[in-house]
Amino acid sequence: MIQNTPTYQPIPKNEGLYIPPNPKYFDYESRYTSPHKNQLYPVDLTPTPISNTSGIEDFLEQRQDVINARIQMLYSEMGVRSYINGQLLYRINYDQCTCQNLIMARGEEFLDRQRMDLENKILDLEQEKRREETALFRDLSFLNKEMRFARIEAMEEQQKQALCLNQEAII
């Protein structure tokens, strides 16, 4: 939770034009973390220089570099997706606060069509928030699946490299 935040108290009618945002819509900071700085930027894909070693060693090293770059790109995609999710949730929360502010500005004694429309809009925004969280889960599940495959492939390549290099040393 956010510390040292003032409690939300509606402003009575005609005491001011500004109504502060309702903090109950902005509790996402405790639930969502922002991605690491290196996850927001593209991966450096500069190829490794070719040395004067045997062809199989170069091939295995290049293959390992490709797999490592793929893993880094997956981490980057996960970070970007989490960042986009945070931005979308912030905007939805802001829209909810705007609707709540409009309701409070009209006063508590009015129960008319416009107030009901604003209340429905708040509920629709809450539903949109749930859909976004579901989409984030689906996207991150897919990326985690791809990450597992890439890590397994990296382990297989390391085993192949160890096997090939040990066989060359034995011969």
Summarised one tens digit per residue, pLDDT across range 112-142 is 888 888 889 999 999 999 999 999 999 999 9
32, 2 Cβ separation under 8 angstroms = no
Calpha distance 150→78 (Å, rounded): 14
* CA-closest candidate to residue 96, choices 135, 130, 71, 70: 130
Distance of CA 147 to the CA centre of its chain: 16
Q: What percent of the chain is predicted at pLDDT more than 70?
A: 64
Per-residue pLDDT, 64: 87
Distance of CA 111 to the CA centre of its chain: 39
Kindly compute the dihedral angle of the four CA atoms of residues 149, 155, 158, 159, in this order, to the nearest 10 degrees.
-120
Calpha distance 20→169 (Å, rounded): 72
Per-residue pLDDT, 8: 55
What is the domain partition of the chain in residue ranges? Answer: 54-170
Summarised one tens digit per residue, pLDDT across range 11-41 is 555 555 555 666 665 555 554 444 444 544 4
